[in-house]
Structure 1
Amino acid sequence: MFDTFSALTLARMQFAFTVSFHFIFPSFTIGLASYLMVLEGLWLKTGRDVFLQLFKYWLKIFAITFGMGVVSGIVMAYQFGSNWAVFSDKAGPVIGPLMAYEVLTAFFLEAGFLGVMLFGLERVGKPLHFAATCMVALGTAISTFWIISVNSWMQTPTGYGINPKGQFYVQDWLEVIFNPSMPYRLAHVLLAAYLTTALVVGGAGAWHLLRDRRKGLATSEGTRIMFSMAMWMAAVVAPLQIFAGHEHGGNTLQHQPAKIAAMEGHYDSYPNGGAPLILFGIPDDKAQAMRARVEIPRLGSLILKDDFDAPIVGLDGYPAANRAPVAIVFWSFRVMVGIGVLMLAMGLWSLWARARGQLFDSPWLHRLALLMGPTGFVAVIAGWVTTEVGRQPFTVFGLLRTADSVSPLAAPAVAASLIAFIIVYFGVFGVGTWFIIKLMGHEPHPGETGPTRGQGADGITRAAGITPAPQVDPDAVMAE
């Protein structure tokens, strides 16, 4: 199946596959850690057990997702040495320390407090446990900061020098870390993670609302609260994400204009202004033309430069050897934006239903929320594809080509490892994902609060959803 691919193409396919799998888990745990922090904070502030029910309900899911994220991340990192040894040699003096900082300041923080967060509520007391939960949430945010800093430097490199061996080295750490695209990309990724979590939580709540409605059952308070919180998040964060995406696009236009041309499908330049917004079309890289295009005149110039008549440089303004494959970038960008628009629409719909007092009695809203549940993952993968493929043909934009970054490996060796990754990943992570979905299929009930100090074995069995056997009074039996 892989006979016609070069070692370079196979290495790129392998990295794309493993990164896509890995990205799914952090995009969920980043938001879920913050959600857990909010739930525990609300429990401590209000004393309402329903928030503790929800905390323990989602804590189990967080633990499994976090574990899969760690495993997939470690495997992914090994590819820098196996398939991308030249890149590691040349860019290692810059990205190596940044990755180490992520481990020291973020991963160690998460790992150090994760055990307390998972198992320490009845052992360390409420204040210390809440502090541990906050540290885990902070660790996920710090981890995002460093990873985005690394990737952003590869997109917009600054603060570097190049030695006679062709290796990058750091001249100014602040310029490396806070490179021009880093703040925009950090905001975009964090908001995406929060929206991804909100959609999963909202989808789970919608599932239980629909099922209870079909069976004529009363929905638990925990389900109603988590659905309400998810809809608030969608309504508030979706507009912020659209604004952040727009600002990120302006930054990309400034530093990577060829990527924007590919995203917008502009093969031709518009020197006299009035570039259209191409909604849909069929990119043809061979002919360097957009077929069957559906467009809105002049709107592209307005969106990109806040001026209907602003000139826009198309792909014809850049060397052919430096252009990204348009079809992938064009469509992945539209998948991301399309899902973002649906998120906004669902958030607005939820506000309308809430204002009418029908948030929990709107089955079509619940169906939409259920369908939207996994779309956050699709959006973040589509955004990653847009960013990474749009950077091609470079690994370090404008400085180091992807073709010059790959290890000197034979194509069969890379193909064998790729096949192994596909089999193992779908097997192991497929089972983990199935178990997470199974956990979400159970509605949160008061039993989720678990045992408290002094409950003993009966409290543990009740927390697990097991009804303990009735206790028999021997004296009563004898009297009968």
Structure 2
Amino acid sequence: MLDTLVLSRIQFASNITFHILFPTITIALGWFLFYFKLKFIRTNDAVWNDAYKFWVKVFALTFALGVVSGITMSFQFGTNWPGYMKTVGNVAGPLLAYEVLTAFFLEATFLGVMLFGSNRVSQKTHLVASFLVAFGTSLSAFWIIVLNSWMQTPQGYSIINGIVHADSWMEIIFNPSMPYRLAHMMTASFLTAAFFVAGISAYRSLRGSSSAANALTLKFAVTVAAALIPVQILLGDMHGQNTLEYQPAKLAAMEGIWETSKNVPAVLFAIPDASTKSNLYEIAIPNLASLYLTHSWDGEVKGLDAFGKDIPPVLPIFFAFRIMVGVGVLMLLISWVSYWRMRGRYELPKYLKIALVGMTFSGWVAVVSGWYVTEIGRQPFLVSGVLRTVDAVTTVSNSMVFSTLFMYLLLYVGLLSAYIWIVFYMARKADLPEATLGNAT
């Protein structure tokens, strides 16, 4: 049987995998809704309000699942990883509290106005409520990214009797990797929501929807995706440079670099073999990795041999990174072609609509893959250089962890299946008032 450590890691991974799906949509979708409401107030064109009315329902459903799964996940700090809060609770505890006090309460307070107040308060008040909910989701993401980034690149602390104490909250919050992770994650959220909106809108269009609001949101989402995917590629490169400086072992695993050398090739495909410390069936482009990592054709890059035994599992990181990049390239191609075909019009060829439907949840695949790279790449540490994962795990029996893991997985499969079904059901049954495009452009 798997031991408690492995089972606890699988359980937390399953929880974070399920939870992260929903905030990645609501963070950006909240801002989309704010934009729809703002355009409605400025133009008085009902098509923007129609778009708002449909997507706010999807937002509410997604937000609810994000809250529920987040609460479940937070309990695992005590049940599965008591050593984590015991050792670094002086840093992690306040940061999690900041997220609740400054972000969650803000969202929860104004969400009711946003969902049920459109006919009870003025449009400007409703706009303010929409803004505060969107701002709250982003603020929540900020604090979570701060904590996770500190775990990756910790600073601003001291250790007294084995316990971490905060010395400088400014250094803790603005740790070396935080700006890159925050920008990368926020952009990932906007891309996830853009393809989500585009996919659902394309699905409605394929089913014969004549809603002007649906045509508008389809073009809006395609435009956002086409504009942001090049930005995300640039941010990814900057994040990679930061990882090379502060977490070189993770970077070496991502690239499949086993030995420190110059003229490092970019490995397109391989099967990393930890037993032989080599790549099997490797397909690579000579010198390319040195170029984009060091900006020199013959630049030297540290391999996994430079880090002794403290190296992360290479195989899952290697493939998760390539899945993330591959999905990103596919996003670039489909969004740019769709945007080009929609210039001056609100219609797409059938094959592109089908492609967008297929890409509805592509952002989820990219985000989860990237998150796996980030978290697995930190191993064998829970907090890099400070706390090893094995030293933080619970002492309860593996049978107890396995039983709860099994129940979690059953529940998550059921909830995720229900969520996807309900979203498409809402799309099929949408009955938005008809409106002309008018001044929507």
TM-score, normalised by the number of residues in structure 1: 0.89
Report the alpha carbon displacement of residue 52 of structure 1 after superposing the two structures with TM: 0.6
The one-letter amino acid paired with 2:408 is F
Q: Deviations over 1:67-93 (max 9, x none)?
A: 111010000000000000011100110
- 1:220 alignment partner, one of 207, 211, 233: 211
In 2, the alpha carbon distance for the partners of 1:444 and 1:261 equals: 52
Residue pairs, 1:149-228, within 5 angstroms: 149-164=146-161, 166-212=162-208, 219-228=210-219
Report the alpha carbon displacement of residue 425 of structure 1 after superposing the two structures with TM: 2.3
**1:50 partnered with 2:47:** yes
Q: Deviations over 1:100-146 (max 9, x none)?
A: 00001000100010000000111111111110000000000100100
Please state whether the residue corresponding to 2:145 is helix, strand or coil: helix
* Structure 1 contact 285–326 (Cα < 8 Å) conserved: yes
What corresponds to 1:456 in structure 2?
none
What corresponds to 1:471 in structure 2?
none
**1:126 partnered with 2:115:** no
The one-letter amino acid paired with 1:400 is L
What corresponds to 2:252 in structure 1?
261
* Structure 2 contact 200–360 (Cα < 8 Å) conserved: yes
Report the alpha carbon displacement of residue 399 of structure 1 after superposing the two structures with TM: 1.7
Please state whether the residue corresponding to 2:279 is helix, strand or coil: strand
**1:235 partnered with 2:226:** yes
Report the alpha carbon displacement of residue 381 of structure 1 after superposing the two structures with TM: 0.5
What corresponds to 1:426 in structure 2?
413
What corresponds to 2:315 in structure 1?
327
Q: Which runs of 5+ in 1 are unaligned?
A: 213-217, 449-480
Q: Percent identity, aligned pairs only?
A: 43
Structure 1 runs of 4+ aligned residues shifted over 6 Å read none
In 2, the alpha carbon distance for the partners of 1:439 and 1:397 equals: 44
* Structure 1 contact 234–346 (Cα < 8 Å) conserved: no
Q: Which runs of 5+ in 2 are unaligned?
A: 436-441
Residue pairs, 1:27-426, within 5 angstroms: 27-164=24-161, 166-212=162-208, 219-270=210-261, 273-319=262-308, 321-355=309-343, 357=344, 360-426=347-413
What corresponds to 1:14 in structure 2?
11
TM-score, normalised by the number of residues in structure 2: 0.96
* Structure 1 contact 235–347 (Cα < 8 Å) conserved: yes
Report the alpha carbon displacement of residue 441 of structure 1 after superposing the two structures with TM: 2.7
* Structure 2 contact 342–348 (Cα < 8 Å) conserved: no
In 2, the alpha carbon distance for the partners of 1:423 and 1:5 equals: 19
The one-letter amino acid paired with 1:365 is L
* Structure 2 contact 204–427 (Cα < 8 Å) conserved: no
Please state whether the residue corresponding to 2:394 is helix, strand or coil: coil
Report the alpha carbon displacement of residue 412 of structure 1 after superposing the two structures with TM: 0.6
Task: From the CA coordinates, give the structure whose radius of gyration is larger.
Answer: 1
Report the alpha carbon displacement of residue 395 of structure 1 after superposing the two structures with TM: 0.3
Which moved further from structure 2: 437-446 or 182-191? 437-446
Q: CA RMSD in A?
A: 1.3
* Structure 1 contact 350–359 (Cα < 8 Å) conserved: no
In 2, the alpha carbon distance for the partners of 1:231 and 1:424 equals: 33
Report the alpha carbon displacement of residue 354 of structure 1 after superposing the two structures with TM: 2.9
In 2, the alpha carbon distance for the partners of 1:198 and 1:300 equals: 31
Report the alpha carbon displacement of residue 340 of structure 1 after superposing the two structures with TM: 0.7
What corresponds to 2:439 in structure 1?
none
